[in-house]
Amino acid sequence: MSALPDGKKLVRSPSGLRMVPENGAFHSPFSLNEPQWVPDKECARCMQCDTKFDFIRRKHHCRRCGRCFCDKCCSKKVALPRMCFVDPVRQCAQCSLASQKEMEFYDKQLKVLLGGGSFVATLGTSEKSETMMCRLSNNHRYLFMDGESHFEVELSRISSMQILTDGSSPGGWTSRASGMLLHYKPMGAQDAQQLKVEAADDRKAAALWLAAMHKAAKLLYEARDQ
């Protein structure tokens, strides 16, 4: 295990080499914990095709779900950033498909969230609104709201999120995201706070940022339910 200057460390686990925060409390809220592997003694057959293991047909564990498979059913090596693996790791067909779908978030939508978007923000039931830049922090743990004032929303404290739409887009096919309604509990507060953000000038860019945030919320809830 070796420490790196950016606050992360390399850890070798049975599943592979991982790059994790030195302080476990600073994990990305999208992260998933490594699963416990099904013990070899409890796994005489492939959990997908029911092939019996022997000296020729070896068993392999999926790094995402921890279940036991033959080589044919667990042959794909796919990137798994939600578990901080440095290299692509062996996954079963179902898990590799899920990981591949998530790569769109890490390759594209995460960059949109980090870049930020311009919104008109209203905090609580206040009638006062402020144009602010809303962006995800580099460690993925906070939403930074920057304008004349500044405040932060910790993603782990968000209890609900609703994407607001403005009706049909040109052509009448689908609704376009125009805003977001968050409920969260600030550190030390007893009651939940409401934050409403609505697209400012560039509505197309705001819609892209909101779509990325909607995907982020799905990953956030999935990580909580693990």
For the chain, the DSSP string reads: -EE-TTSEEEEEETTEEEEEESSGGG--TT--PPPPPPPGGG-SB-TTT-PBP-SSS--EE-TTT--EE-TGGG-EEE--GGGTBSS-EEE-HHHHHHHHHHHHIIIIIHHHHHH-EEEEEEETT-S-EEEEEEEE-TTSSEEEEESSSEEEEEGGGEEEEEEEEEEEPTTSSSEEEEEEEEEE--TT-SS-EEEEEEE-S-HHHHHHHHHHHHHHHHHHHHHHH-
Q: Tell me which residue range forms the domain holding 123.
A: 116-166+177-225
79 and 148 in a single domain? The answer is no
Residues 179, 203 contacting (CB under 8 angstroms) = no
Q: Is the pLDDT reported for residue 23 higher than 80?
A: no
64 and 141 in a single domain? The answer is no
181 and 208 in a single domain? The answer is yes
Q: What is the CATH number of the domain that holds 188?
A: 2.30.29.160
Residue range 143-168: average pLDDT?
89
Q: Is the pLDDT reported for residue 72 higher than 70?
A: yes
Question: 150-154 and 142-146 as β-strands: parallel, antiparallel, unpaired?
Answer: antiparallel
Q: What is the CATH number of the domain that holds 103?
A: 3.30.40.10
Q: Of the residues 83, 108, 133, which one is the last residue of a structural domain?
A: 108
Residues 203-214 pLDDT 10s: 899 999 999 999
25 and 96 in a single domain? The answer is yes
Residue range 125-130: average pLDDT?
86
97 and 145 in a single domain? The answer is no
Among candidates 50, 42, 49, which has minimal Cα distance to 66? 42
Bigger pLDDT: 20 vs 68 = 68
Q: Provide the pLDDT for residue 209.
A: 95
- Token pair recorded at residue 147: 């304008």
pLDDT > 70 in the chain, percent: 92
The DSSP output letter for 154 is E
When pLDDT is cut at 50, 70 and 90, the band that residue 4 belongs to is very low
Q: Of the residues 66, 86, 108, which one is the last residue of a structural domain?
A: 108
Q: Provide the pLDDT for residue 216.
A: 93
40 and 88 in a single domain? The answer is yes
Q: Provide the pLDDT for residue 127.
A: 80
Residue 197 is assigned to a structural domain of this protein: yes
Q: Provide the pLDDT for residue 176.
A: 82
Q: Provide the pLDDT for residue 155.
A: 93
Residue 91 is assigned to a structural domain of this protein: yes
Residue 47 is assigned to a structural domain of this protein: yes
When pLDDT is cut at 50, 70 and 90, the band that residue 196 belongs to is very high
130 and 61 in a single domain? The answer is no
Q: Is the pLDDT reported for residue 117 higher than 70?
A: yes
Query: Per the structure, how many domains does the chain have?
Result: 2
Q: Provide the pLDDT for residue 67.
A: 96
Q: Provide the pLDDT for residue 201.
A: 85
Residues 87-99 pLDDT 10s: 999 999 999 999 9
Q: CA 95, CA 68: separation in Å to the nearest integer?
A: 12
91 and 21 in a single domain? The answer is yes
Q: Provide the pLDDT for residue 25.
A: 58
When pLDDT is cut at 50, 70 and 90, the band that residue 174 belongs to is low
63 and 138 in a single domain? The answer is no
Residue 2 is assigned to a structural domain of this protein: no
